[in-house]
Amino acid sequence: MRKSEVKKYYDNYINEQYSIGVNDRIFLMYEKLKSLGLSSTSSVIELGCGIGVVTHLIRKTVTVGKIESIDISGESIEFAKDKIKNDNVSFYQGDVTEYTPKIKQADFVTLFDVIEHIPIELHEKLFINVAKMLKNDGWLLLNIPSPESVKWDAQNNPEVLQIIDQPIPLELILKNCANADLEIIKFENYSIWVENDYNFVLIRKKKVYENKPLNLSLIQKVKRKTWRIKFKKFYKY
């Protein structure tokens, strides 16, 4: 599949994106960002931003920090620029597998429903590129349809699939993370419209294990001691 064909497809996909707007999936992604500490001063690189629907939500929280949003479709980028004019939000047309952001290292990098539309042979390159974009304590948020749901659509509902729409198994993500010195912190199979239709993956730069003692609060210490006492009472002999 030529890059020019993919670009043309998404140049013509604007009306579809606009008609969908902020659906349940998009709002859930915004909620996940906030749960991870998205704040007014956060820096965010949004890869595969489309017409800026997620950007529209992120800018409500990130009012001081920087948001940099990228998409392969120049038409989508122009549409987003026309709708979102915040001084701290920038839109750029580019290929996310090789794009070099203006934000040197970000608190958050997002790939929301993107990598299933990128040829698998480019995924290793993509993950290596994304790793360069993250702060040492930054988060990469990855959301994709579950492989099973993509396969089901291919057999039963192919008209809903985009120009490239492929199942992405966890094993492939693990491999590409390892090659890019990234590590998966959380994997979640969850449901939006039908059971088990989406996978969410939380990723960060690989850290050196330091064997640090926990700094427990007084309440945590009391809880642990209470459970030890209860256990001894229960198994008393």
What tens digit of pLDDT does each residue of 164-178 get?
Answer: 999 999 999 999 999
Cα Rg of the chain, angstroms: 20
Q: What is the pLDDT of residue 237?
A: 57
Who has greater pLDDT, 234 or 186? 186
DSSP state letters, 77-106: HHHHHHH---TTEEEEE--TTT---SSSSE
Q: Could you tell me if 176 and 12 are in contact, meaning their C-beta atoms sit under 8 angstroms apart?
A: no
How far apart are alpha carbons 83 and 81 in whole angstroms? 5
Distance CA 136, CA 97 (A): 20
User: For 132-149, what is each residue's pLDDT tens digit?
Assistant: 999 999 999 999 999 999
Q: How far is CA 195 from the centre of its chain?
A: 20
**Domain 3-234, second-level architecture:** 3-Layer(aba) Sandwich (3.40)
Q: Cα–Cα distance between 99 and 206 in angstroms, integer?
A: 22
* Confidence at residue 229, expressed as pLDDT on a 0 to 100 scale: 87
Helix (H) or strand (E) holding 140: strand 134-145
Give the SS3 label for residue 189.
Answer: strand
Output the average pLDDT for the chain. Answer: 95
**pTM for the full predicted model:** 0.90
